[in-house]
Amino acid sequence: MNLVRDRDRMVEQHIIRRGIQDKTVARAMRIVPREMFVDPGFEEFAYEDAPLSIGQGQTISQPFIVALMIEKSDLDAGDKVLEVGTGSGYAAAVASRIARHVYTVERHGALAHQARERFARLGYGNIDVRIGDGSKGWLKAAPFDAIIVSAGAPEVPPSLKEQLDLGGRLIIPVGPNDEQRLKRITRTGADAFEEEDLGGVFFVPLIGEDAWTATHPLYTPAARTERTPAQLIADTAETFSSVDDENFTRLFDRFADSRIVLLGESTHGTAEFYHARAAISRHLIERHGFNLIAVEADWPDAAAIDRLVAGREPSQARPFGRFPTWMWQNEEFIGFVRWMRAENIRRQASRADAIRFHGLDLYNMTESIRMVIDYLDRVSPDAAAVARERYGCLSPWQTNPVTYGRAILTDAFQSCEDAVSQQCKELLTRSLGESEDNDGFLDATQSARLLAAAERYYRIMYYGGSKAWNLRDTYMAETVEHLLDFHGPNAKMIVWAHNSHIGDARFADMAAARDEINLGQLCRQRFDGMTSLIGCGTHSGEVLAASEWDGQAEKKRINPALAESYEYLCHQAGKERFFLDFDRNQDLRAGLVDQRLQRFIGVIYRPETERVSHYMLTSLPQQYDAFLWFDETHALTPLYRQQAAGGNPETFPFGP
Ligand code: SAM
């Protein structure tokens, strides 16, 4: 292989002879080693005039099209350029050899990281890469002399036009997949633009808020009409026989570059979901540097587990004693706690940082108050006395907080809002260095935040509507943010919570009909390009759930899924266990995008009224990045059954 000769031949045959006249473009393409931008093993094809696969279902653009777009953007040595759709990084690299600085945005974290490494290896220091939705441009770096979009949009995104400097050029493919036209838009005045048509092209879709959203009325990938949704599922399903197999855990290597991986569950009582989440978490921790687990549980209860797995004194005698106890007092979860403990012992021996376990929810007021006061008792007894006084306001409601909202409407009781928010503010202004006890400080500040959020939650809950739900999920998202801040830039988090918190609410009736937002949506919005949302679902089997709030856990049969549901389609695909990747399979995404029912079983399951109480209209491939399927599932094993047979419930989870 003589790659330098191949490169010269490519420029001669595919660039100059096909009409590219700009000598600076030809020169730049002779300099940039295109073979470094293709996957290993494909170097010999790098100089053919064809797009090549670069993983994540994406392509490196054909050399001629890269040359054409750069020529038409009329680059000068002093120009600042934005490229949307970094992909392999090749086009940005070529542009960087002509212009002063190139900013480039890519929605796939893995591709962005890879491109960044390639630029570093080549010593191209004038390129900045960002992970995110480039249909919104790069506001902080605007205005640009040129913007090149390497993926096709339905219309010209308004933010991109706005981010052009006066005289700036935007080159962008526009239109439905089979009728894309390459356009050049030139800014001729504050509100004036000229548009030229540069001919027909074929690019992968620009997927983003100001581009294709897959429900866009013009989005019609050919495959959508050819295969039924169940066939699409069967064709793209990545099957596995057991969650303990490498075949299963390796499926999750594709999320290695995410900062937050959120793992859902379609019930709160299915053993397979716990096993799967434990296996995925172990793999991401062992192989990909994840170090935090955050779950849908209250801070103080999770803090007791965190201390247990770190080998410290328990902070609470019996965590998770509140309904629904089985969500964490179950054998499947305890197995994972044991693994965390063993992993931390191993880490201690090699002086590595421990993996941490935290709670995102806001219900346990009593223990939260205790955590704040315990900490202040240790560092500042005077401040502890003030905190006792302030939290005293909540004491009539601690055991039954749902009555708080109504009670403070009468004159007999005063609101605790000022007291708890003042306490929270004061604690947050204390310095972390005040004591050596970093974890005590974290426990105290998170507990104070919990109490401030819980006070508001119970106050607004009385009025019904979406406000209380939204407050709870916003609180969880803020906790995710605080934890990532606290644990530093290398922290990578795995979240375990119900599908209703994890599946992006914007693509479910929760947003349209109930104005609800949720944790998955907020993580996507706050950690653009660094969040992966993975749902779990099932067709039938057994589940552990109660019939009413505060009721006993019962093993219940799950009705087979309704015919209008996504679950039914998955069942029809005829495979026992599989994984669907909506990001890598655009045909699957397009085929499933139209709304259907999805089943949500919480701590309560009422099979008799299932259609109304447990199903909701959603768009599955927009709610999640991936979906994990277990056709038939089994109920969790609650610990108290064992305990009734002779064990000691008082020892959970610290006993043998
Ligand atoms: N310029 C690239 C090169 O030289 O290899 C090829 C780009 S490829 C044809 C299109 C890229 O656009 C894909 O990597 C895709 O992930 C990315 N993309 C699609 N929608 C995007 C968006 N909204 N923001 C950023 N990147 C996006």
Distance CA 184, CA 197 (A): 7
Distance from the alpha carbon of residue 59 to the mean position of ligand 1, in angstroms: 8
Backbone φ, ψ for residue 10 (5° rounding) = -60, -45
> Dihedral (C-alpha) 260, 265, 268, 272: value to the nearest 10 degrees?
-110
| Rounded mean pLDDT, 34-59 | 80
CATH number of the domain to which 75 belongs:
3.40.50.150
pLDDT of residue 648: 40
pLDDT band at 644 (very low <50, low <70, confident <90, very high): very low
Extract the tokens encoding 315: 């902070």
Ligand 1 within 6 A of CB of 595: no
Ligand 1 within 6 A of CB of 626: no
Ligand 1 within 6 A of CB of 499: no
Question: Quick check: 560 pLDDT over 50?
Answer: yes
Higher pLDDT, residue 431 or 490: 490
CA atoms within 13 A on the CB side of 236: 26
pLDDT band at 317 (very low <50, low <70, confident <90, very high): low
Q: pTM of the predicted model, to two decimals?
A: 0.66
Say yes or no: 140 and 56 in one domain.
yes
Query: Could you identify the atom of ligand 1 that is nearest to the CA of residue 51?
Result: 9
Extract the tokens encoding 483: 């934890």
At residue 440, the 3 state secondary structure works out as helix
Taking Cα atoms as reference points, which of 440, 425, 445, 422 lies closest to residue 378?
440
Query: Could you identify the atom of ligand 1 that is nearest to the CA of residue 105?
Result: 25
* Portion of the chain with pLDDT greater than 90, in percent: 69
Say yes or no: 150 and 179 in one domain.
yes
Higher pLDDT, residue 285 or 14: 285
Identity of residue 478: E
Q: Is residue 43 in some structural domain?
A: no
Q: Is residue 613 in some structural domain?
A: yes
Active-site residues: which are they? Answer: 61
Segment (H or E) for 174: strand 164-174
Higher pLDDT, residue 630 or 316: 630
Fill in the DSSP letter of residue 597. Answer: E
Spell out the residues 6+ positions from residue 221 whose beta carbon is closer than 8 angstroms to its own: 177, 586, 587, 590
Domain boundary among 210, 225, 240: 225
Say yes or no: 122 and 156 in one domain.
yes
- Listed in sequence order, the DSSP H helices in 364-437 are 365-379, 381-392, 404-407, 417-429
Ligand 1 within 6 A of CB of 58: yes
Q: Is residue 362 in some structural domain?
A: no
Taking Cα atoms as reference points, which of 430, 361, 428, 424 lies closest to residue 390?
424
Question: Quick check: 1 pLDDT over 70?
Answer: no
Taking Cα atoms as reference points, which of 40, 56, 38, 37 lies closest to residue 108?
56
Question: Quick check: 595 pLDDT over 80?
Answer: yes
Taking Cα atoms as reference points, which of 222, 235, 173, 218 lies closest to residue 200?
173
Handedness of CA 80, 84, 90, 91 (dihedral sign): negative
Distance from the alpha carbon of residue 150 to the mean position of ligand 1, in angstroms: 6
Q: Is residue 459 in some structural domain?
A: no
Question: Quick check: 60 pLDDT over 90?
Answer: no
636 C-beta neighbours (distance < 10 Å), count: 27
* Portion of the chain with pLDDT greater than 70, in percent: 93
Q: Is residue 392 in some structural domain?
A: no
Query: Could you identify the atom of ligand 1 that is nearest to the CA of residue 206?
Result: 20
Q: Is residue 432 in some structural domain?
A: no
| Rounded mean pLDDT, 600-624 | 93
CATH number of the domain to which 589 belongs:
3.40.1660.10
Say yes or no: 132 and 256 in one domain.
no
Distance CA 362, CA 647 (A): 30
Segment (H or E) for 449: helix 438-461
Distance CA 219, CA 525 (A): 23
pLDDT digits (tens, 9 = 90+) for 374-388: 999 999 999 999 999
pLDDT digits (tens, 9 = 90+) for 151-187: 999 999 999 999 999 999 999 999 886 678 999 999 9
Distance CA 298, CA 446 (A): 10
Identify the bridge partners of residue 71 per DSSP, sorted by sequence position: none
Higher pLDDT, residue 597 or 397: 597
Distance from the alpha carbon of residue 56 to the mean position of ligand 1, in angstroms: 10
For residue 180, the Cα-to-chain-centroid distance in whole angstroms is 31
Burial 85-124, CB ≥16 within 10 A → b, else e: bbbbbbbbbbbbbbbebbbbbbbbbbbbebbbebbeebeb
Distance CA 352, CA 348 (A): 6
Distance CA 424, CA 387 (A): 10
- Listed in sequence order, the DSSP H helices in 543-593 are 566-572, 586-592
pLDDT of residue 618: 92
pLDDT of residue 214: 61
Domain boundary among 225, 248, 263: 225
Distance CA 630, CA 632 (A): 6
For residue 8, the Cα-to-chain-centroid distance in whole angstroms is 43
Say yes or no: 118 and 213 in one domain.
yes
| Rounded mean pLDDT, 399-419 | 84
Ligand 1 within 6 A of CB of 63: no
Domain boundary among 180, 208, 225: 225
Identify the bridge partners of residue 641 per DSSP, sorted by sequence position: none
From 25, 65, 107, give the residue whose CB has the most ligand 1 atoms within 8 Å, as the site to mutate: 107
pLDDT band at 438 (very low <50, low <70, confident <90, very high): confident
Q: Is residue 310 in some structural domain?
A: no
From 59, 88, 150, give the residue whose CB has the most ligand 1 atoms within 8 Å, as the site to mutate: 150
pLDDT of residue 45: 80
User: Are the C-beta atoms of 570 and 629 separated by less than 8 Å?
Assistant: yes
Ligand 1 within 6 A of CB of 105: yes
Identify the bridge partners of residue 147 per DSSP, sorted by sequence position: 82, 170
Higher pLDDT, residue 17 or 196: 196
| Rounded mean pLDDT, 333-360 | 95
Say yes or no: 172 and 248 in one domain.
no
pLDDT of residue 53: 72
Q: Is residue 476 in some structural domain?
A: no
Q: How far apart are the first and last CA of the chain?
A: 64
At residue 197, the 3 state secondary structure works out as strand
Distance from the alpha carbon of residue 352 to the mean position of ligand 1, in angstroms: 37
Q: Whose CA is nearest to atom 19 of ligand 1?
A: 206
Q: Whose CA is nearest to atom 15 of ligand 1?
A: 85
pLDDT band at 470 (very low <50, low <70, confident <90, very high): very high
Say yes or no: 234 and 220 in one domain.
no
From 90, 177, 206, give the residue whose CB has the most ligand 1 atoms within 8 Å, as the site to mutate: 206
Distance CA 538, CA 60 (A): 38
Taking Cα atoms as reference points, which of 473, 612, 543, 577 lies closest to residue 266?
543
Taking Cα atoms as reference points, which of 257, 229, 227, 2 lies closest to residue 114?
257
pLDDT of residue 576: 96
Ligand 1 within 6 A of CB of 114: no
Distance from the alpha carbon of residue 152 to the mean position of ligand 1, in angstroms: 9
Ligand 1 within 6 A of CB of 133: yes
Average pLDDT, the chain: 90
Domain count, the chain: 2
pLDDT digits (tens, 9 = 90+) for 204-260: 889 888 888 766 666 655 434 457 889 899 999 999 999 999 999 999 999 999 999
Least confident of 37-46, 274-283, 440-449: 37-46
Say yes or no: 132 and 220 in one domain.
yes
Ligand 1 within 6 A of CB of 106: yes
Say yes or no: 239 and 221 in one domain.
no
Q: Whose CA is nearest to atom 27 of ligand 1?
A: 85
pLDDT band at 395 (very low <50, low <70, confident <90, very high): confident
Say yes or no: 268 and 164 in one domain.
no
pLDDT of residue 462: 80
pLDDT of residue 432: 57
* DSSP per position, 503-555: S-GGGBHHHHHH----HHHHHHHHSTTTEEEEEEEEEEEEEEEBSSTT---EE
Ligand 1 within 6 A of CB of 60: yes
Ligand 1 within 6 A of CB of 584: no
Distance from the alpha carbon of residue 84 to the mean position of ligand 1, in angstroms: 6
Taking Cα atoms as reference points, which of 202, 240, 80, 214 lies closest to residue 148?
80
Distance CA 186, CA 304 (A): 61
Q: Whose CA is nearest to atom 12 of ligand 1?
A: 85
Tell me the CA distances in angstroms from 355 to 96, 108, 307, 342, 415, one per residue in order: 41, 27, 11, 11, 39
User: Are the C-beta atoms of 499 and 286 separated by less than 8 Å?
Assistant: no
Least confident of 253-257, 398-402, 547-551: 398-402
Place of tokens 């945005």: 105
Domain extent for 136: 51-225
Question: Quick check: 21 pLDDT over 70?
Answer: yes
Say yes or no: 158 and 237 in one domain.
no
| Rounded mean pLDDT, 270-284 | 98
Tell me the CA distances in angstroms from 486 to 17, 327, 439, 442, 453, one per residue in order: 57, 27, 10, 8, 19
pLDDT digits (tens, 9 = 90+) for 128-154: 999 888 999 999 899 999 999 999 999
Say yes or no: 66 and 156 in one domain.
yes
